[in-house]
Structure formats: C-alpha cells, structure tokens
Amino acid sequence: MIASSQVAKFANAVPFWCSLLLIPLVWITAGLGNWWVLLVPFTTWYLFAALDAVTGLNLENADLDTTDEQLKWYRMVTLIWPALQFITIFGLIFYATRADHLSTGALIGVFFGVGVISGTIGINYSHELMHQKPKSERWMGDILLAMVLYSHFRSEHLLVHHRYVGTPRDPVTARYNEGFHRFFPRVLLGSLKSSFKAEKDMLARKDLPWTDLSNPFFRYWMLQGGMLLLALLIGGWLGVALFIWQAWIAIWQLELVNYVEHYGLTRKHLGEGKYEHVKPHHSWNAAHKASNWLLINLQRHSDHHYKPDRRFPLLQNYTDDEAPQLPFGYPIMTIAAMIPPVWKKVMNPRVRKWRDMYYPEVTNWQPYNKAKNPLPR
C-alpha cells in the first residue's frame, strides 16, 4: 500500500497531468496543417499503447484514508481542464475558420483531433467530476458534456448504468458477440431514452411532470444551445459544423470505452426480475500504467463501480482472481473494438472463460446474449 504521505507528493501526481500536453499539440498541428493534423489521434492511441508496453503495470494501491487535501495536485488537473478545453475548442474554431492554409481535409483532421481530446480526456474528466459531492465540480462536469452535446450522459450514467449494469435495462452493457458497429447506434438511442425516462420517473415520484424546471434536461438543452450559438457567432455555419464534428468524434470515443468496459459481463438473473448485486467481476480492468495516467485510472473500473464517488487516485487495483483483466490497455482495446473479427477473437474466449469461472451452474446463456432476461424490478 502506498502511504498517504507518498500519495500526496506532487511528483506522484504529475504523470496524471500528461493530458495537458495534448492542448499545445493540437494547436501546433492546426498551425502546420497537412498530415500533421493526425498527430493528436496518433499520440492518444498509438503512443500511449507503446508507453504501456514500456512502463508496464501498476499493481499498487493508495491508502484509502488519504484526504481530499492530500489529493489536491490530482484534483487540480480535472478542475482546470474545463477552461482549457473551452478555450481550445472555441479558439480553434475562430482560428481555423479564418486560416487559408487549412484545406477542407485538414479542417476535418484538426477537429477530429479536437474530438479525440474532448472525448478521451474531456468526457472522462466529466465522469470523474459528476460523481463528486461538491456542486461546483458537478457543474464543471455538465459544462464539459455540453461541449460535446452529450449532456444526458450524466443522467444515464448516474441513474441507469450504475444501478442496472450487466442487466437488460442498461443500454451501455455490450452484449456477448455484439460488434461495436451494432452496439453504437443501439446505445446512442437507448441511453437517450433511458436517461430521459429515469429523470421523468424521479419527478413522477414527487408528483411533478417532466416539464418541471427541476428536470436537468432543461439545463442540458440550455448549455448545449449556448455552445452551438457560440460556435455560430465565432465561426459562422462552418464553425457550427466543426463543433458538431468534434462532438460526434468525442461521443464515438466515449462509447468505444463503454463498449470495452463491460463487454459480455452480465449479472446473474435470480428469478422474477431480481439480479445479483454488482460485483468486481462485472467490469473489465487494466493495470497498464501509461494509459491509466492518461485516463486517470478509469481502467480500475471494478473499484469505480464498488465506490463511484472514490476519487481517481484512490481507486484500487484488483487481482486476476478478483476481477477480469484485459490483455492490453484501452488504447489498443478500443482500436480492436473497431474491427469486430479481431475483437471477438481476442475477447469471446475470455468471456467464455469468465462464465465458466463465475457461473458454472448457468447452462443456457442465450437470454443473456440477447438481453432477453426480464427487466430488473
């Protein structure tokens, strides 16, 4: 165990600040144009995959008694990121819509890179912030999600995913043998419907209609509308198109990660719509050091589901005997997810092994594969 005094040291927090390097990088690529615009996705996908191979695994766990004050250098990167991302997105819209050296292809490439940043880093940081108790942090999470036009992710994640993960009610749990290209459209529609229904049902329990202004969807729509209006004022309709393009790429990045995190891992149906509690073995984990720096320990996913508001430096690593492990970090696994034959060759045998290990008594997996079990009560 890493002692609190060691966790608190600035030097130990610095690796988690590596995401900040992507900000000057995307500006440099916008200035250079041409094929240089591919540097951002190359860095986040391939460079960090290579760094994982070099840096290896981090199997150590921090002392859970470490206080928020001792975590200030870790928290800082998530707190300054919303402003940096805001300036980057809208600053680049201003610059790119007036830059003669950027061809149409280069514009698409630059904002593809922006979307990789706002998805890989921005949505991930919003995920960290939305789980925290301070209202200011939750608001920053909302602002980050508005910048990618995916504000309902907060409602879906907090009210649906964490409660119903591994059951037919959770649209984000990827089914066994379901390719990403089938999963993606299903989750886009399913998460929007389930998040709105969850908020509507919460209001109904208070005898309020969904149109009540306390419905967070009104806040979501206001923030997203403000972002689109700002893009229009700064860059005209081209600015709006570039903003929507980066948002689409960010959403794609998020749902790639969602696809990987729970692929094929289902909770046992106990009968009459009852399911076992969420356990560590219902999430895929990866202890790869470099990609966990970039993704602020998102790959320690089992512990996140056990303790959702636990700050990222304190998330615990689980052993092979406690929770399933991915063969590589998310950068490589999300690339594999885009190639269904490769993904299924790598992951389907692991899912079958997982089933044999944890549920040898289950002989008919078809209802789990097709999400045909009764909806949880």
Residue 285: per-residue pLDDT: 97
At 275, phi and psi to the nearest 5? -130, 150
Question: How many CB atoms within 10 Å of residue 179?
Answer: 17
pTM higher than 0.75 for the full model? yes
DSSP, residue by residue, 225-244: HHHHHHHHHHHHHHHHHHHH
Residue 377: per-residue pLDDT: 84
User: What tokens appear for 358 in the block?
Assistant: 């944890």
User: What tokens appear for 76 in the block?
Assistant: 């800082």
Q: Where are the alpha helices (DSSP H) in the chain?
A: 4-7, 10-13, 22-32, 39-42, 48-55, 72-96, 104-117, 124-130, 135-146, 153-155, 162-164, 180-204, 216-262, 289-294, 301-306, 330-337, 340-358, 366-369
Angle at the Cα of 156 (from 370 to 297), degrees rounded to 5? 95
Cα atoms in the 13 Å half-sphere on the side-chain side of 129: 26
Q: Read off the DSSP letter of residue 271.
A: E
Of 117, 118, 116, 103, which is closest to residue 150 (Cα–Cα)? Answer: 118
At 325, phi and psi to the nearest 5? -115, 140
Report how far residue 34's alpha carbon sits from residue 142's, in angstroms, rounded to the nearest whole number.
Answer: 34
Report how far residue 197's alpha carbon sits from residue 203's, in angstroms, rounded to the nearest whole number.
Answer: 10
Asked if 170 and 235 touch (Cβ cutoff 8 Å), the reply is no
Report how far residue 26's alpha carbon sits from residue 246's, in angstroms, rounded to the nearest whole number.
Answer: 13
CA distances (Å), origin 306, targets 277, 301, 318:
10, 9, 12
Question: How many CB atoms within 10 Å of residue 46?
Answer: 13
Report how far residue 285's alpha carbon sits from residue 297's, in angstroms, rounded to the nearest whole number.
Answer: 10
Please list the rounded mean pLDDT of every run of 10 residues in the chain (377 residues). Answer: 94 97 97 94 93 95 96 98 98 97 96 98 98 96 98 98 97 97 98 97 96 96 98 98 98 98 97 95 97 97 96 96 96 97 98 97 96 93
Report how far residue 123's alpha carbon sits from residue 153's, in angstroms, rounded to the nearest whole number.
Answer: 9
Helix or strand run (H / E) with residue 149: none
At 269, phi and psi to the nearest 5? -80, 125
Of 175, 169, 166, which is closest to residue 201 (Cα–Cα)? Answer: 169
Counting Cβ atoms within 10 Å, is residue 349 exposed (0-12), middle (13-18) or buried (19+)? exposed
Report how far residue 10's alpha carbon sits from residue 370's, in angstroms, rounded to the nearest whole number.
Answer: 48
- Which residue ranges make up each domain of the chain? 4-369
Residue 305: per-residue pLDDT: 96
- Sign of CA pseudo-dihedral 90, 94, 99, 103: positive
